[in-house]
Amino acid sequence: MRYKLYARLGELMHPAKRDRGEGPVPYVILVALIGAVAVLVYWGVRGIAQGWLDKVPTTP
């Protein structure tokens, strides 16, 4: 079983198989998805930070 796994991995990593150009998802779509996720993370962290700041007392 292990030998088959290594053999298959070797086939996939062979330069002739590895260099097939762009993958099934175009590069532009991947960049757009990463950007969208980054914006969502930003807004989430910003909301959490704003919630913490709202709890800080303004007078000593």
pLDDT (tens digit per residue) in 2-52: 778 778 777 777 666 555 666 667 788 889 999 999 999 999 999 999 999
Residue 53 token pair: 């700041």
Residue 52 token pair: 């913490």
State how far the alpha carbon of 1 is from the alpha carbons of 7, 19, 27, 35, in Å: 10, 27, 35, 40
| Tokens 């996720």 sit on residue | 37
pTM score, whole prediction: 0.54
